[in-house]
Amino acid sequence: MFCNRVKQTRTSPISEKSGMPMDQIIIHVDMDAFFASVEMRDNPSLRGKPLIIGSLPGERGVVATCSYEARKYGVYSSMNIKEAYRLCPHGIYMHPDIEKYKTVSAQLHEIWNTYCTAAETIALDEAYLDVTEKARDPEGARRIAHLIKQRTRDEVGLTCSVGVAYSKTAAKTASEEKKPDGYFEILTPQDFVNLIIDRDVRVLYTVGEKTAQKLYAAGIRTVRDLRNNNETSVRLLGKQGRWLAMLADGIDNRKVTPFRPEDVKSISREVTFQEDVSDFELLKDVMILLAIGVERRAKRHGLRGNGVTLKVTYSDMRGITRSHMAPGCDSAAAIYRESVRLLDKVEKRPVRLIGVGIYHFSDQSDTQLTLENLFSRDETEPDGELLHLLSSLQNHYHLDFAGHLDQIFQMNLLHKTVEYMRKHF
- Catalytic annotation present for 126: yes
What is the reported pTM?
Answer: 0.79
Asked, as a colleague might, if the bond just before 180 is cis with ω within 30 of 0, I would say yes
> What residues have CB less than 8 Å from 327, skipping those under 6 apart?
306
Active-site hit among 126, 133, 295, 338:
126
Ordered structural domains, the chain, with CATH:
34-99 (3.40.1170.60), 197-248 (1.10.150.20), 261-423 (3.30.1490.100)
CB 35 within 8 A of CB 72: no
CB 4 within 8 A of CB 133: no
CB 136 within 8 A of CB 21: no
Helices (H), 118-167: 132-135, 138-151
pLDDT of residue 3: 43
Q: How confident is the model at residue 296 (pLDDT cuts 50, 70, 90)?
A: confident
What pLDDT digit, counting tens, does each position of 86-143 carry? 999 999 999 999 889 999 999 999 999 999 999 999 999 999 999 999 999 999 999 9
Counting Cβ atoms within 10 Å, is residue 142 exposed (0-12), middle (13-18) or buried (19+)? middle
Category of 19 on φ-ψ map: left (φ > 0), alpha (ψ -120 to 50) or beta: left
- Does the pLDDT value for residue 203 go beyond 90? yes
The DSSP call for residue 193 is H
What pLDDT digit, counting tens, does each position of 15-61 carry? 555 444 578 999 999 999 999 999 999 999 999 999 999 999 989 88
Least confident residue range of 184-188, 196-200, 361-365, 419-423: 361-365
What pLDDT digit, counting tens, does each position of 327-357 carry? 888 899 999 999 999 999 999 999 999 999 9
Query: Pairing between strand 51-54 and 92-94?
Result: parallel
DSSP notation for 266-289: EEEEEEEEEEEE--HHHHHHHHHH
Dist CA 154 CA 152 (whole Å): 6
